[in-house]
Every structure is written in structure tokens, then in C-alpha cells.
Amino acid sequence: MTETELEAAPQYDLSAVVIPLLKGVVYQESEGGLWNALLNLQARVRDYISVLGLELALDEAEGYAFLRSRQPEGEDDEAAPKLPRLIARRPLSFPVSLLLALLRKRLAEFDKGGGETRLVLSREDIVELIRVFLPQRSNEARLIDQIETHINKAVELGFLRKLKTSTNQAASYEVRRILKAFVDAQWLSELDSRLAEYQTQLAGGAEGGE
């Protein structure tokens, strides 16, 4: 960096680092200056947010950081004070939870292949990924619309990022690597058996409805 570039680089104090974290996820790829400041101020950030009942989840290898509610040591103790949550829990519908689990599995398979670091899927790829696990409907268009709603929810939650495409190109999405922090390896290892059970239930429901 030249002297001019150093002068032009934004300076981040503790507040300037914590406030973006309170708003959402900080990514290295899109917020390099803020990311470097976070690494430098990491110990102070952790001390500061602990007062708020929060903890910092930071993955340097994957390049993301976010805040989550800290598990109180005496949470099972009825006498322990209950702090209000700053980071709200977001209940997810079953189809959205299923979609995130399938995307996480696809990301794990993608990582095993090596090579590219960004997993990009088309809208059609994602539709085919989940449709086999959803109840069959006579109205195909309505089923696709419902899956589109689930995809949009995943985008809203920050687990998918819709990529810019030209007018004639089909929509495509990047699977954000922060998904690994929410669907851990142990849960993923049990996914196949859970999906098999769910498919059996679906098949039984379909036969019962005939």
C-alpha cells in the first residue's frame, strides 16, 4: 500500500466494528477493511459484546463473522437472571429447514471435490434438489412457486446470494459458506437417515390418499 492509499483507508474504532455485527454478518470478501479491523480488535469486541449477553462467531478460513446469543452458565437454574435476547431466534418452516440442510449437504460434497471455492447453483438445480422431498401436487406451477418462496427465504436469511444475470439468463445463486456454522457436521452425518425416514412418511401419506 502506498502512503496515499494508507491515508485514504477508512479507520475503524470499536463502535464502527460492533455496529455492523449487530446488524448482520460481516464477510471478508465484501468488507475487507472492516474485516481486518475486526481481526485486530477481536479481543476488545468479545469483551464488549459479552456484556450484552452475546458472543462472536468468527471463521477466518471461511471469511465470515456474526454475533449470537451467549449460553448462560446457569441457564437451567431458575434463580439465574434471564437476559432479554438481542439476537432474535427465527423459527423456520419445515421446507425452509429442509432446503438449508440439502444445501449444506451439497456444499459438503462440493468441498470434497476441491477446485472452486464458490458453489453456484441455478434456480432449476435448487428446485430439483428439494422437490423430491416435498408432497406431490397436481399443479406443477404452484409447486414451483412454493419452492421459489423457500429460496427467497434462504436469500433473506443470508444463506443464499442471488447473482446478477442478464435478462435472458436463468437465475443463479451462490451458497454462502456461513451455512456451515448453522448446520454442523454431526447433524449433517445424520441427514441421510432423516431424509430416508421422511421419504417413507411421504410415500405412506401418498398411498393413504389414493
- Please write the tens of the pLDDT for every residue from 139-159: 788 888 889 999 999 999 889
52, 69, 86 — which closes off a domain? 69
Residues 117 and 51 in one domain: no
Q: Is the pLDDT at 4 greater than 50, yes or no?
A: no
Whether residues 55 and 114 share a domain: the answer is: no
Checking if the pLDDT of 174 tops 90, the result is yes
Q: Are residues 124 and 205 in the same domain?
A: yes
Band the pLDDT of 208: cuts 50, 70, 90.
very low
Last residue of a domain, one of 16, 36, 69: 69
Residue 189 lies in a domain: yes
Q: Which domain holds residue 134?
A: 94-209
Mean pLDDT for the chain overall? 79
Which is more confident, 132 or 75?
132
**Contact assessment for residue 45 and residue 17, using Cβ atoms and an 8 Å cutoff:** yes
Instruction: Tell me: do 115 and 168 sit in the same domain.
Output: yes
**Do 121 and 60 share a structural domain?**
no
Q: What pLDDT does residue 7 have?
A: 41
pLDDT of residue 199: 67
Nearest to 35 by CA among 55, 73, 9: 9
| 181, part of any domain | yes
- Sheet containing strand 160-162, edge to edge, reads 119-122, 172-175, 160-162
| pLDDT tier at 201, thresholds 50, 70, 90 | low
pLDDT of residue 151: 94
Q: Where are the beta strands (DSSP E) in 46-113?
A: 54-59, 64-69
SS3 category, 39? helix
Q: Based on the fold, state whether residues 126 and 181 are members of the same structural domain.
A: yes
Same domain? 36 vs 130: no
CATH number of domain containing 184: 1.10.10
Structural domain tally of the chain? 2
Domain identity same for 199 and 138:
yes
Closest CA to 134 of 151, 121, 119, 114: 151
Is residue 74 included in any domain, yes or no? Answer: no
Mind listing the pLDDT tens digit for each residue in 89-133?
Answer: 667 777 888 888 899 989 988 988 877 788 999 999 999 998 877
